A and B are shown apart, each in its own frame.
Chain A
């Protein structure tokens, strides 16, 4: 049981897919200007990684090694289509904001990386947990980045005003730079900077 628990908790920090393994940066950063799309994106990726890990792990003995990439891509693409349709049906405005980045979950390196590194060699239940863990690890970074960008960039969180009006009257100005794409990269760089010494200690 402990081992299973570790499958979920390890990717949150020690083997975080974004800051330690440098996977899945591609789609991670563009959706973090606001907290809400980041949450939805993190959740979608978690679902896709967990389910595709499960499916591939069930199929792993029947997949010929030579065409495994194509098989994996097809499974992932089918799952992403499902997620996309669900998002369009229930949270249409967020799905508009995410635009192409939902489709890009297919080519998210985390998904392919976990399939190759874990699901091809492990049992379905473990693979499923591993998928959940990695998805959550990814979501965590997304939410942290989005938190700072939305707080300092727009003064809101999830669309609610957080910075009091009094501060604005006093001369406080939102930092427009935080909304711009390059800041996401710099924030991730700083997160990695803070996380590294902690790992070296272990």
Chain B
């Protein structure tokens, strides 16, 4: 039940884009039409749902204080926390590489539409951010971390598809010349963020 709470919370309240500004670079660069942004969003959901639980296990059994105790009681006092940045990013880069190969092999159509953006997922802040937040929030089971990864991914997908739809329509509006393009996208995202804040205060017990 708690996992469900985490899941819903990470979609709406702790939304990656609107609450933490994570993954803004690709969010702004790709959100010009709904189809491509949906593709990228799905890729992000995938990668998050895989990397967050893996990094959770890594954190639980290798990195945090006393995590190595299963290896030998001698290591009970070892704290490898400072290595987490480098190991997390290595895991993420490896998984993105594998995902890229799988997508290229099985769905060439999706691969050609995502083009250069798949490798960019490795340096998408949302992915790394989710792992770091996972570490900070002390989830107790793999299920919770999976719910968190999945929820954050879906929240990100929701945000990018939403802004892409708005940007498709806004092309026909009269925007001040110097605000066109990214400028208006920023302000739109801000307004969407304010709208999303109405979910604040919803709790799941």
Contact = CB atoms under 8 A, between A and B. Distances in A.
Interface of A: 22-30, 69-70, 73-74, 77-78, 80-81, 84-85, 99-100, 103-104, 106-109, 112, 180-186, 188-190, 192-193, 196-197, 200
Given A104-B128, A185-B186, A73 B178 contact: no
B178 A185 contact: no
Interface string B83-123: 11110011001000000000000000000000000010011
Given A25-B25, A85-B82, A192-B178, 11 more contacts: A24-B25, A73-B93, A81-B85, A103-B128, A104-B22, A106-B85, A106-B128, A180-B197, A181-B19, A182-B193, A185-B21
Contacts of B19: 181
Contacts of A30: 20-21
B82 A27 contact: no
Interface of B: 18-25, 28-29, 82-86, 89-90, 93, 119, 122-129, 132-133, 136, 176, 178-179, 182-187, 189-194, 197
B25 A186 contact: no
Main secondary structure of the interface of B (DSSP, over half): helix
Nearest to A199: B178
A25 B23 CA distance: 8
A42 B179 CA distance: 26
B25 A100 contact: no
A178 to B, nearest CB: 12
Identify which of A181, A183, A188 gathers the most chain B CB atoms within 10 Å of its CB: A181
Given A27-B21, A185-B187, A188-B186, A22 B29 contact: yes
Main secondary structure of the interface of A (DSSP, over half): helix
B136 A184 contact: no
B178 A193 contact: yes
A101 B184 CA distance: 25
Contacts of A70: 90, 93
Q: Which of A74, A104, A183 has the most CB of B within 10 A?
A: A104
Contacts of A182: 18, 189-194, 197
Contact of B127 (A100, A107, A186, A192): A107
A193 B90 CA distance: 38
B178 A197 contact: yes
A100 B119 CA distance: 23
A78 B86 CA distance: 7
Q: A29, A70, A103: which has the most chain B beta carbons within 10 Å?
A: A103
A106 B22 CA distance: 13
A84 B88 CA distance: 15
A23 B182 CA distance: 12
Contact of A69 (B93, B186, B197): B93
Given A26-B21, A100-B132, A107 B190 contact: no
A108 B19 CA distance: 17
A80 B84 CA distance: 11
A182 B24 CA distance: 13
Nearest to B87: A77
Contact of A103 (B24, B126, B132, B176): B132
A74 B129 contact: no
Contacts of B22: 26, 104
A28 B93 CA distance: 23
A185 B129 contact: no
A79 to B, nearest CB: 10
13 contacts: A27-B21, A29-B21, A70-B90, A74-B89, A84-B82, A106-B89, A107-B127, A109-B123, A181-B19, A182-B191, A183-B190, A185-B187, A186-B190
A48 to B, nearest CB: 12
